[in-house]
Chains A and B, each alone.
Chain A
């Protein structure tokens, strides 16, 4: 019999205030599915064997092409990698009833597309920038990410788009204002985040909370870095555009938190604001003595403590 809802924490509290024996507690861990049973182990072993096996094969293929074996002619090399991509896609159709194999095959195909572009660049010495490579990779794998119901593949697509933008700004437009890279990245990731939040309203797809948290964190990190660059290095007249957009995104995040009663954004957004305010104070109060640092340490600790108190009260109110 498995009763849902009994967590490790519940058992810890019960053990604390009762005379439950260690043996009984262990059997409760097993009964409530907290410790893995034979079925769980079978599932994990299957996932591990398929996942690690596929990762090894894909890595081996990438190493093989990286070796640039002179005995293989360029036609054979290109065909070999293309055949492998096609084989991976076909296997995702053949095993469409087994979601694990289907998703792992699509993931392998997506990674092999990258190998295919690098082989192309290696043979023809295209001299392309790194952003060209990531752009091509992104374009040719994004369809699979969109049609698959596999969050790790969505994450791969988001990472590739981020890398494309980052390399483009670094290699093609280094003369752009220094905050532009972070502006583009946070706007892009915010769009992805909004799309993911809206997805459940018009489809059956469910976006896991870990993915939303990773992308939210990336948005906050980009905004914080961009704002800090702007504070210490205001060398263009449109610096306020960054702040305007950043605070709009933060306002949206706070609105969303209150609407859906989620505290995660209410923790990371104020933390970013505290860091930005600290940098602003450091830049504008050119105090060489230790007083400024003392003031900043008191400011950080006091604001984080007050914030934690407010969050705990809010959580209490939402749970009553």
Chain B
């Protein structure tokens, strides 16, 4: 069955339900599906576009640094022209072929604008705020996958940069709340976002990826800084992530319409998460994995597994215990998990037989 046949089969199955209010623009659906199957958008072309865009940006910035960087006004005007050019080019011809041009021009424009504003205003906060506004404007005017993805990444990076440049590390917990809640909400309301409007529907995939990458980077930051005394009250971030994880589990239980064993699921989840309350990165990795499995998004699952391996490894590496104590803790945890798997298997088998 080709993609168009799959769609026709699917539409027929919906129409069989005899919902009189259901309407669909078959021609547009078929046209878009056909366009999709012909427009190659695999991993290879994404690597090509992103690497090409980044390499082009680097060379272009080299040229700018050697030519016009002395004048802030010239850099500002030039950066603005390139940025507007990137967005206009995308609006005129929204296809994969021009992705490298758009990415290169967009990133060059952002960097040049950021540099010139910083030089003119002599304020890091003004630069951060300007880049934040550029990200918001970009999201509101373009539907391009790559530009929206980079805009989300720039927005979240600006929030992080604000905390770092002003040395207000306590605010990192608000950023944790923002990225983790954002990540969960985006994933759990996928069906609502798809039907909300065409604008939301088209922007949804880059937002999902943008928040996944942002949350992952934040969790890696937590992992790296775990042992540093300059990072106080890390458990606040953990509590935020635990609350979000419990909310996610609640949504999944409702989705699966589980009636039995609810108490055991919550108790096990809370016990597991509280045991790693001083490692927000592990809590976050578990959250990513749970959400990835629930929505069946392979990339989220891969990120979750990689984060879990890294976060647990870094946690044990930083732990101020002897290797012997660490080894005993790990072997006991491993044994517990294998026993749990045995009990779980038995339960599942008895449930299937029953």
Contact = CB atoms under 8 A, between A and B. Distances in A.
A and B assemble together: yes
A46 B345 contact: yes
Nearest to A13: B32
Query: How many interface residues does chain A have, given as a range?
Result: 35 or more
B39 A312 contact: yes
Interface in A268-320: 268, 270-271, 274-275, 278, 289-291, 293-294, 296-297, 300-301, 303-305, 307-309, 311-312, 314-316, 319-320
A208 interface: no
B141 interface: no
Which of A40, A267, A268 has the most C-beta atoms of chain B within 10 angstroms of its own C-beta? A267
B104 interface: yes
Given A18-B25, A293-B63, A49 B341 contact: yes
Interface string B17-52: 000011111001100110011111011110111011
A293 B29 contact: no
A9 interface: yes
A3 B10 CA distance: 8
A15 B3 CA distance: 16
B207 interface: no
A5 B205 CA distance: 20
A58 B330 CA distance: 9
B195 A15 contact: yes
Interface string B314-354: 00100000111011111111111110110011001000000
A213 B43 contact: yes
A10 B100 contact: no
Contacts of B47: 267-268, 271
Contact of B24 (A18, A294, A307): A18
A71 to B, nearest CB: 10
Q: Is the interface of B mostly helix, strand, loop or mixed?
A: helix
Interface in A8-34: 8-26, 29-30, 33-34
Which of A11, A58, A275, A312 has the most C-beta atoms of chain B within 10 angstroms of its own C-beta? A312
B195 to A, nearest CB: 5
B194 interface: yes
Contact of A54 (B289, B328, B338): B338
Interface string B132-162: 0000000000000000000000000000000
B64 interface: yes
B256 interface: yes
Contacts of A54: 334, 338
Given A308-B100, A315-B40, A22 B195 contact: yes
Given A29-B190, A307-B48, A17 B25 contact: yes
B314 to A, nearest CB: 13
Given A3-B10, A29-B190, A61-B327, A300 B56 contact: yes
Contact of B327 (A5, A18, A19, A67): A67
A26 to B, nearest CB: 4
A29 B32 CA distance: 20
B66 A263 contact: no
Interface string A48-71: 111011111111111110110100
A232 interface: no
A36 B296 contact: yes
A54 B344 CA distance: 16
B194 A271 contact: no
Contacts of B256: 37-38, 41
Contacts of B205: 12
Interface residues of B, number: 96
Contact of A271 (B52, B58, B338): B52
Given A17-B24, A56-B331, A293-B63, A10 B38 contact: no
A176 interface: no
A42 interface: yes
A45 interface: yes
B94 interface: no
A247 interface: no
B231 interface: no
A312 B96 contact: yes
Contacts, number: 277
Contacts of B91: none
Nearest to B9: A3
A6 interface: yes
B166 interface: no
A228 B270 CA distance: 52
Contacts of A57: 330-331, 334-335, 338
A21 B195 CA distance: 7
A35 interface: yes
Contacts of B345: 46
B100 A304 contact: yes
A303 B97 CA distance: 11
Contact of B6 (A8, A10, A38, A320): A10
Contact of A264 (B44, B67, B202, B297): B44
B194 A266 contact: no
A44 interface: yes
A291 B59 CA distance: 10
User: Considering the complex of A and B, which 9 residue pairs feature the smallest CB-CB distances, nearest first?
Assistant: A267-B44, A304-B52, A53-B337, A56-B334, A60-B330, A290-B66, A57-B334, A49-B341, A60-B331
28 contacts: A12-B205, A15-B201, A16-B194, A16-B198, A22-B195, A25-B194, A26-B255, A30-B255, A36-B293, A42-B348, A48-B289, A53-B333, A54-B338, A57-B330, A63-B323, A64-B328, A67-B324, A264-B43, A297-B56, A297-B104, A301-B100, A304-B52, A308-B45, A308-B96, A308-B100, A311-B40, A312-B97, A320-B38
Interface of A: 3, 5-6, 8-26, 29-30, 33-38, 40-42, 44-46, 48-50, 52-64, 66-67, 69, 213, 263-268, 270-271, 274-275, 278, 289-291, 293-294, 296-297, 300-301, 303-305, 307-309, 311-312, 314-316, 319-320
